[in-house]
Chain A
Amino acid sequence: NAGVTQTPKFRVLKTGQSMTLLCAQDMNHEYMYWYRQDPGMGLRLIHYSVGEGTTAKGEVPDGYNVSRLKKQNFLLGLESAAPSQTSVYFCASRIEYSTGEQYFGPGTRLTVT
């Protein structure tokens, strides 16, 4: 039982390049989330999904797109990376009607130069 995994762990992009971050969970969770974490800013929600085929915007969605084609996978895309997107990205999942417990992946450290 791997829990929540993220690919890749580290990435350096040049401004304007695109990339996709992959999140996978093997706990059959309905809800999945993408957060970014910047120093002193806590965790900010980018996009989330409440089930296969659904997505919704969070607090800071601009510059990102997501897809949830399969229940176990949640993809985060950057179409044209900007230095402001340099951050640590965390994926999380949880069951429906949980008591606030979310399971986080190990994170992806992204640098945009």
Chain B
Amino acid sequence: GQSLEQPSEVTAVEGAIVQINCTYQTSGFYGLSWYQQHDGGAPTFLSYNGLDGLEETGRFSSFLSRSDSYGYLLLQELQMKDSASYFCAVGRNTPLVFGKGTRLSVIA
């Protein structure tokens, strides 16, 4: 089976940096993805890591360490609109398995 652990809630100040961690246990590994979901909205894809290291997309970066079964999403220069839930997920050609999500609250 597969399971993912991520913090349930994180609060950070506008303009700051926040890191959301994700650890996983899988029978086979096929990449770690991150999704963002605003209240009342649908999940939207943010990033994918298939290999170890850092992937950067604008203010967002995602990191993966396969040897540690660990990854994180890094959000820089936080804005109020970044308040949302963030989900890590494992899988590629197989159906994605999602973590339970981290609710990020950005405060002024």
Interface residues of A (CB under 8 A from B): 33, 35, 40-45, 48, 58-59, 90, 92, 96-107
Give chain A's interface secondary structure class: loop
Q: Which of B33, B42, B99 contacts A100 (CB 8 A)?
A: B33
Which of B's residues lie within 8 Å of A, judged by CB?
A: 8, 31-33, 41-45, 48, 50, 87, 89, 91-93, 95-101
Q: What would 6 more interface pairs be, CB under 8 Å, given A45-B96, A48-B95, A100-B91?
A: A40-B8, A90-B43, A99-B48, A99-B92, A104-B42, A106-B42
Q: Give the 3 A-B CB pairs with smallest separation, nearest first.
A: A100-B33, A42-B100, A104-B42
Chain A residues with Cβ under 8 A from B45's Cβ?
A: 100-103
- A42 CB contacts on chain B under 8 angstroms: 87, 98-101
Cβ-defined contact, A102 with B96, below 8 A: yes
CA of A9 to CA of B87 in the docked complex: distance in angstroms? 23
How many A-B residue pairs lie within 8 Å, measured between CB atoms? Answer: 58
CB of B31 within 8 A of CB of A100, answer yes
Which residues of chain A have C-beta atoms less than 8 A from B98's C-beta? Answer: 35, 42-44
Is the beta-carbon distance between A97 and B93 smaller than 8 angstroms? yes
Interchain residue pairs with CB less than 8 A apart (22): A33-B96, A40-B100, A41-B100, A43-B43, A45-B95, A45-B96, A48-B95, A59-B97, A92-B43, A97-B93, A98-B92, A99-B50, A99-B92, A100-B31, A100-B32, A100-B48, A100-B50, A100-B89, A100-B96, A101-B45, A102-B96, A104-B44
Given A101-B48, A104-B44, decide whether A96 and B100 contact each other with a Cβ distance below 8 A. Answer: no
Report Cα–Cα, A102/B95, bound state, in Å: 10
Task: Name the residue of chain A whose CB is nearest to the CB of B85.
Answer: A42
Residue of B nearest to A35 (CB): B98
CA distance A43 to B6 in the complex (A): 14
Q: Out of A40, A92, A100, A103, which one reaches B92, CB within 8 Å?
A: A100
